[in-house]
Amino acid sequence: MSTAEARVAPPGAGAVVPVARPFAALRWFRSELGLVFRRPRNLVMLGVLALVPVVVGVALRIAQGEVSAEGGAFAQVTGNGLMLAFGAFAVMLPLFLPLAAAVVAGDSIAGEASRGTLRYLLVTPVSRTRLLVTKFAVIAVYCLAATATVAASASIAATVLFSPDGMTTLSGTVISGWEMIGRLALAALYLGLGLSALGAVGLALSTMTEAPIAAIAATVVLSVAAQILGAIPQLDVISPYLLTSAWSGFDAVLRDPMAVSDLRDGLLVFAAYIVIAGAVAWARFADRDITS
Residue 114 pLDDT class (50, 70, 90 cuts): confident
Is the pLDDT score of 48 beyond 60? yes
Query: What does the alpha-carbon distance between residue 107 and residue 206 come to, in Å, rounded to a whole number?
Result: 7
> What is the residue-averaged pLDDT of the chain?
83
Is the pLDDT score of 177 beyond 50? yes
Under 8 Å between Cβ of 43 and 37: yes
Distances, alpha carbon 58 to alpha carbons 75, 78, 157, 173, in Å: 14, 11, 8, 27
pLDDT single digits (tens) 181-192: 888 999 999 999
Specify the 3-state DSSP secondary structure of 208: coil
Average pLDDT, integer, range 84-111: 92
- Residue by residue, DSSP assigns 24-78 as HHHHHHHHHHHHHHH-HHHHHHHHHHHHHHHHHHHHHHHTHHHHHHH-STTHHHH
Query: What does the alpha-carbon distance between residue 131 and residue 261 come to, in Å, rounded to a whole number?
Result: 34
Distance of CA 186 to the CA centre of its chain: 14
Is the pLDDT score of 10 beyond 60? no
Domain residue limits, the chain: 22-285
Is the pLDDT score of 38 beyond 90? yes
pLDDT single digits (tens) 122-132: 777 678 888 89
CA angle, residues 254, 259, 263, in degrees to nearest 5: 100
Average pLDDT, integer, range 158-175: 72
pLDDT single digits (tens) 134-161: 999 999 999 999 999 999 998 888 888 8
Distance of CA 14 to the CA centre of its chain: 49
> So what's the pLDDT on residue 13?
41
Q: Considering only 85-89, 121-125, 217-221, 270-274, which range has the smallest mean pLDDT? A: 121-125
Query: What does the alpha-carbon distance between residue 69 and residue 202 come to, in Å, rounded to a whole number?
Result: 43
Pairing of strands 17-20, 174-175: unpaired
Q: What is the reported pTM?
A: 0.85
Distances, alpha carbon 29 to alpha carbons 4, 136, 191, 238, 263, in Å: 12, 10, 23, 37, 29
